[in-house]
Structure 1
């Protein structure tokens, strides 16, 4: 055997044995997240209101619980989806519900706003494939 062939064989074996570099947890089949309330187009009086979050074909659990069939909600407010291969940011536009909440009281200023849910795994990283809701628009008066 040639040295070149042995080097190729060694490289292939090393790559085959290397752990996956993906940070994401595999999503359960047919998982779906959705906003129960408010509905798309809702007009809300006053700035404080409840957001109710729904989930099908997987469970809700607190951050830190490592399970491919379980995750927690993140509410995206007036923003686009973040990079789906990195930890979801935590700021005024990316609200984390790491205790496993399925509803939350939030406050928004008057005007039009968008809301979207994104499921995160134990480490706040989106699942693969990502599980996110339709983006809705509401108006706060």
Structure 2
């Protein structure tokens, strides 16, 4: 799936370049923080870890899944796509503004579907929120269940 989206983004860039050379203008990507439409059946979820997972050492891989939408890097204007944001030990942010970028809101704007993170010992909550090309949650929001993991 990830390779298909990368190819679609490359094709869009080639078409844009071709149109620029022919004098035909193609629509530019929007730069406002306006949420993109998404399918009502879209789901974002954790492949790993699962609810209640006990993690030794603090460093672990988070694997993120998405159904009925595609993953695309930030700034990519493809319909029904977005990129993952991992919320750690926090509540959901505003659904009408860009998702914050800090230690509690990790952005995966390159289109990553997995990441190695490190958490201190203790109990932590994790939640996924899909953002559009401008890091704004979709309308309606595509958000996972909140899970709890324990780091030892």
TM range (shorter): 0.7 to 0.9
2:33–2:136 Cα contact (<8 Å) kept: no
TM normalised by structure 2 equals: 0.77
Distance in 2 of aligned mates of 1:40 and 1:68: 31
Aligned residue runs from structure 1 range 1-141, under 5 A: 23-141=34-152
* Number of residues of Structure 1 aligned to a counterpart in Structure 2: 121
Distance in 1 of aligned mates of 2:80 and 2:38: 7
Distance in 1 of aligned mates of 2:85 and 2:33: 20
1:28–1:68 Cα contact (<8 Å) kept: no
Taking only aligned residues, the RMSD between alpha carbons, in angstroms, comes to 1.3
Extract unaligned runs of 5+ from structure 2.
1-31
Distance in 1 of aligned mates of 2:135 and 2:33: 14
Larger radius of gyration: 1
Extract unaligned runs of 5+ from structure 1.
1-20
Distance in 1 of aligned mates of 2:59 and 2:33: 38
Distance in 1 of aligned mates of 2:139 and 2:121: 35
Q: Deviation per CA, 1:52-88, whole angstroms, max 9, x where unpaired?
A: 0000001001000112311000000000000001000
Q: Deviation per CA, 1:105-139, whole angstroms, max 9, x where unpaired?
A: 00000000000000000000000000000000000
Q: CA deviation at 1:89?
A: 0.2
